[in-house]
Amino acid sequence: MIYRNAAYAIYALAMTNALVAMPAHAVNEVKAQPAANSSSHSENPVATSPDADIDLTGFWTQGGYKIVYFEQDGSRLTSRYTKRSADNKKNEIDFTATIHGNLVYGAHRAPFSRKLQKKCAHQIWVGMGLTLEANHRKLTGFRGNRTVDPKNCEVDNSETVDIIYTRMVDADGNPLK
């Protein structure tokens, strides 16, 4: 119930981009079509996994300054910090998520100090939802936000925070992996 509005937004986006948004007879018709003739998603948009052509593995910037590394395994995506900072250690998880079509949704680590993380560790994860741009070079969306009382670890949820991840590319425009 904490992130009801965020959950509703993610669910609504998923419904418009997933098989569940199609009537049952349409899903069955698409599944029955042979996949051999469907070389592109435009010919048969749901004959293969909606994230089959997306590879987000590589270096990304968060907010234009923090560098993170995305590791993708099928539809599972993990973002890790590449450098130590006041809020994190190198290789610590930034977020874990699921990719579905152009949507990325999961749990994001809220930016708390190391001291607060150790004391109130169970309070640092918040929901997040991102949308991948068509060129696969930018993810935009939101994450939940929390205010944690350092004395007793009580949590107050607050307004969501906008987040942007931008893929790092080389001089030729190829993703840095």
Indicate the domain borders of the chain.
4-22+51-167
Mean pLDDT, consecutive 10-residue segments, the chain of 177 residues?
Answer: 50 42 40 42 38 83 88 95 79 91 90 73 80 95 86 84 94 90
Domain 4-22+51-167, CATH homologous superfamily name and number: Avidin-like (2.40.128.30)
Tokens of 162: 């906008």
- DSSP string for 43-94: TSTTSS-TTTT----EEEEETTTEEEEEEEETTEEEEEESS--SS--TT-EE
Q: Whose CA is closest to 136, among 38, 63, 62, 51?
A: 51
Please name the amino acid found at residue 28. Answer: N
Please name the amino acid found at residue 45. Answer: P
Q: Report the C-alpha gap between 90 and 57 in whole angstroms.
A: 17
User: What pTM value is reported for the model?
Assistant: 0.66
- Please give the pLDDT value at position 111: 66
- Please give the pLDDT value at position 123: 58
- Please give the pLDDT value at position 29: 44
- Please give the pLDDT value at position 103: 96
Q: Where are the alpha helices (DSSP H) in 82-174?
A: 114-119
